[in-house]
Chain A
């Protein structure tokens, strides 16, 4: 029977990245995916004829440019298109447009507060400085701070140098920053609620924290540290939807000889004599390999597809305690026309990008309170984008689709399990809120896909529907991700690795986790490193 050099479990974008690099290095690689389509949370699906949804993730900024370039993803069909012009709507009908041009952005802020317009420059510079440091770590394996191996010490020195370059005052600020709440962080800059709320919303996306919870300021940074073509903080759309990223990665992987099998869910990682030796599919088929790589989140990997007895003591418990709380919903809506919003200038640069139904700091916190009580707010925070306003390939001409990301939506409801009826009620809540800002919106609806954490877990396999494959708090970041002592992609069982977002640098469509894991695997095989270690931006 054929024995592969490596099997990657899961064709999420990180699994595909990992497989592409292993195949590129000459390994015989097989990717096995439980669904009949690839991509995991970076996927495009035509659920209603003529409309292509990015069912989960919808915008892109973290994708590492050097990987894109190195794997020649453009040739494999990937084009990332920056979009601009996002409007924030507050509870009182006021709007704040995030203009692209500096002068327009300044004038718009000044409409609300001259003070905040000025302060925005300082915030952008500070965030830029913080982002610069964290960006340098993305394509590197976190050092083990307890180790005396030369490589760990070198990497620690590298980190120290990056942080040291900030200067003493900024270093203190930066350390503080990791544990601050988004609200506390922003209070130091702004005085108006609409400006604070606009900026704070990036601090709650995907997390089970609120704007006032310690740690949410890092989440904010996580969402602004990416770039599109060097423009830090900018977000783009993948032409053809987020699945275009996974498809390009799969095409690259195959071009190097990698194989991808769909409808091939793994029941069990087979471990013999303390070594991973293959996988057992749910069909009963067994496939052997010298190396097994899991693209699944840490909870799922260790508690669902591994035998507790195959693990060293304590790992199972660590996986059980891994913070992976679901908090987000997603509602994809096909529309017969472009929705119109109130109180927004009607021009393509102001309102064709996104809509953030932010409400206020308090509204966002209230929505969080509901989540804690096991329900959803009837006034949730919604971050929307209309990809079809930019991408001619995802809806029929003149018609549109709107991606709505909702914070918060609990994985478990206080009043019992999710049912299709409750799911639809949740969807209705979202539509009702949008209708408030866009009268007539409901009449445009052609089709809707409503996804609560329950659906996300069922389809993508993200435990509790946690979009990052595990909370992004300092106890689960860098050398703590997924667990202290296991941050270098090698897992406690020999020849077994992890490559999904549960590993450094965490969630988001970046390909970094998969690439970093490939680098470690090649190192263990004593093969030359072919994985870029830096982004091609010299910042």
Chain B
């Protein structure tokens, strides 16, 4: 018997369209979709490497509508956030953005995100995973704070690459070239306010554009019209992942497992293990995880996330790290690895048992060639600096290309 399901309703299964969806559909010519927080998200639009080069050579846009966005406001908002995250929020001036982490009482990383200080008593917190429950918990004891989940109402587009400033200038955003990294600016757009921050996840020059969802398509069209002569192209998750790895940025699901979702003991990570010491401020008043982190900072992290330059060209994704060429002692594992086209190096991030960092490091890389599987042992050297950190990314005003 053949059963037809003409009336079947799959809506709960199907990813939700992004606020930019009609434009994304036009551009995603290979229908390469995945999803993020229930929203449809492109793996790539044409091809990952092509889009990666747009990020590095011209400019591209990444749909960040699926990112979680919480408006946290009220007289206690600053105190509440300062209690939650490991950095000192009181040092943030208005219209500034700060990268932040928040931890459990045990000092294990729950998530990372960015705080936008919109006013003395108003903050926008953005992060990768839904965090309503944790925010609620974190606000206990703070009476004068409201948390408003704006994830579905705010559209956001990340514009990244060396020509990105030129595009915004062409779009008519007067004075945008004076925007310094991590600052916020507002522009009139169709009678509404367009918020632009000089932020991003690619390590190069870039901006993020924030607008109410109803104006999403107008924003897209304005950006693409202005970008036509500057090599603009949408990019997906894969190109993002390449760019962020070159910049040395961590990603949930690769470098860290969110603490609240971790089953096995200490299979989550701490800021120190992730080499984010500079993000933990012990000088400020009490914050979540402080005691445990203080203890860890004294004894040193068990693992350390390390940047590796690996011999040869075979990406070391998932490779084991050993302390010698004969692989006698297993001391860590690669969390992300790729051949970097702009650096021309085989780069990786790896979690390595801290005491072994001083010695030799060898990766056992598995790869495949026309269906035959191989493994090779490759020497690794430790890099202190991000693999890719061009000077032009920090300059104000930025160059036009």
Contacts and interface: CB of A to CB of B under 8 A. Distances in A.
Q: Do A and B come from one complex?
A: yes
B163 A74 contact: no
The A interface is mostly helix, strand or loop, or mixed, namely: loop
A131 to B, nearest CB: 15
B179 interface: no
A229 B312 contact: no
Nearest to B163: A392
B47 A100 contact: yes
Interface stretch (A15-23, A79-87, A89-97, A478-486): A79-87
Contacts of A81: 53, 56-57
B49 A239 contact: no
Interface string A343-379: 0000011000000000000000000000000000000
B166 interface: yes
A397 B57 contact: no
A395 to B, nearest CB: 10
A71 to B, nearest CB: 10
Interface in B296-346: 311-314, 339, 341-346
A222 B191 CA distance: 59
Nearest to A230: B313
B230 interface: yes
B162 interface: yes
A171 interface: no
A348 B346 CA distance: 30
Contacts of B182: none
Given A100-B47, A397-B229, A538-B313, A392 B344 contact: no
Contacts of A229: 49, 339, 341
A494 to B, nearest CB: 37
Contact of B57 (A68, A101, A239, A398): A239
Contacts of A393: 401
Given A69-B344, A392-B231, A536-B312, A79 B47 contact: no
A468 B341 CA distance: 27
A69 B345 contact: yes
Interface in B343-400: 343-346, 376, 400
B225 to A, nearest CB: 12
Contact of A101 (B47, B229, B313): B47
A251 to B, nearest CB: 14
A390 B47 contact: no
A480 B401 CA distance: 45
Contacts of A398: 228-229
Interface residues of A, number: 27
Given A100-B47, A391-B57, A392-B230, A397 B344 contact: no
B342 to A, nearest CB: 6
A390 B344 contact: no
A65 B57 contact: no
Contact of B313 (A79, A80, A537): A537
Contacts of A390: 57-58, 231
B46 A349 contact: yes
B3 to A, nearest CB: 33
Contacts of B313: 65, 230, 536-538
B50 interface: yes
Contacts of A80: 341
Contacts of B170: 397
Interface string A189-230: 000000000000000000000000000000000000000111
Contacts of B53: 81-82
Nearest to B343: A74
Contacts of A101: 30, 47
Contacts of A230: 313, 339
A82 B344 contact: no
A144 B372 CA distance: 36
Interface in A374-418: 390-393, 397-398
Interface of B: 30, 46-47, 49-50, 53, 56-58, 162-163, 166, 170, 228-231, 233, 311-314, 339, 341-346, 376, 400-401
23 contacts: A69-B344, A73-B344, A79-B57, A80-B341, A81-B56, A81-B57, A82-B53, A101-B30, A228-B341, A230-B313, A239-B57, A391-B57, A392-B163, A392-B230, A392-B231, A393-B401, A397-B170, A397-B229, A398-B229, A536-B311, A536-B312, A536-B346, A538-B313
